[in-house]
Homo-oligomer: A and B are copies of this chain.
Amino acid sequence: MKLLEDRIIKEGIVDTGDVLKVGGFLNHQLDISLLRSMGQEFVSLFGDSHITRILTVEASGIAIACITAQCFSQLYNQNIPVLFAKKSKSSNLGSDIYSAQAYSYTHQNNYNIIVSKQYLDSNDRVLLIDDFLAKGSALMALIEICHQAGAEIAGAGIAIEKEYQQGGNKIRQQGIRVESLARIISMNPETGVIFRHTAV
């Protein structure tokens, strides 16, 4: 998606330690107009999938998920709710929740993501949404939660994929459709960000 790629080139900062800072528009300050364009792009990609629910994980995924849900609600003319998984360090989890473990490479620790069983079941057709996809740990935990619920996965809509970290390809090989609006094939502080060429 050219709009997002251009914004990353203009305002993103490639930092040491393989960090891409996009706090100006995606995960600290939020540019709602950009999110709206991204939501419409997800609708054009997944609109035929007849999703019933959007699942994301706190915190940065919530904004994209909400604006995207609004776009789907308008398309389907019915309310598509967002469900956001919560992060929990506790291993003492109740029986009324789905849970899966993820690993944070930023904080170098394991954490659980949890979702109440009340809000997700085998009648659901889910679109997963997240801001970043790198090694895929968080997204695989969301997939695991959908499996536990018996929910069908329509696919995953990602803002920025670091393709060279292989998480996306690993998940695509499981037969899950992953669509990323900006696909980075390499980045470092000297050369900046290089995208896979996309058509949009």
Distance to closest chain B CB from A85 (angstroms):
9
Chain B residues lying within 8 Å of A63, measured Cβ to Cβ, are 62-63, 66, 82, 84
User: Does A118 belong to the interface (CB within 8 Å)?
Assistant: yes
By beta carbon, the residue of chain B nearest A72 is B32
Could you tell me if B70 and A32 are in contact, using CB atoms closer than 8 angstroms? yes
Given the known inter-chain contacts A31-B79, A32-B79, A66-B32, please indicate yes or no for A23 contacting B73, CB distance below 8 A: no
By beta carbon, the residue of chain B nearest A80 is B32
Distance to closest chain B CB from A128 (angstroms):
15
User: Does A149 belong to the interface (CB within 8 Å)?
Assistant: no
Contact with B along A55-98 (1 / 0, CB 8 A): 00011001100110110010000011111101000000000000
Chain B residues lying within 8 Å of A81, measured Cβ to Cβ, are 29-32
Given the known inter-chain contacts A32-B79, A69-B32, A70-B32, please indicate yes or no for A23 contacting B62, CB distance below 8 A: no
The size class of the interface chain A forms with chain B is 20 to 34
Could you tell me if B23 and A70 are in contact, using CB atoms closer than 8 angstroms? no
User: Does A172 belong to the interface (CB within 8 Å)?
Assistant: no
> Can you report 28 residue pairs joining A to B where beta carbons are below 8 Å apart?
A23-B116, A23-B118, A24-B119, A28-B83, A28-B84, A28-B115, A28-B119, A29-B82, A29-B83, A30-B66, A30-B81, A31-B81, A32-B66, A32-B70, A32-B73, A32-B81, A32-B82, A33-B79, A58-B59, A59-B62, A59-B84, A59-B86, A62-B63, A63-B82, A66-B66, A66-B67, A67-B67, A67-B70
Which residues of A approach B to under 8 Å, CB–CB? 23-24, 28-33, 35-36, 58-59, 62-63, 66-67, 69-70, 73, 79-84, 86, 115-116, 118-119
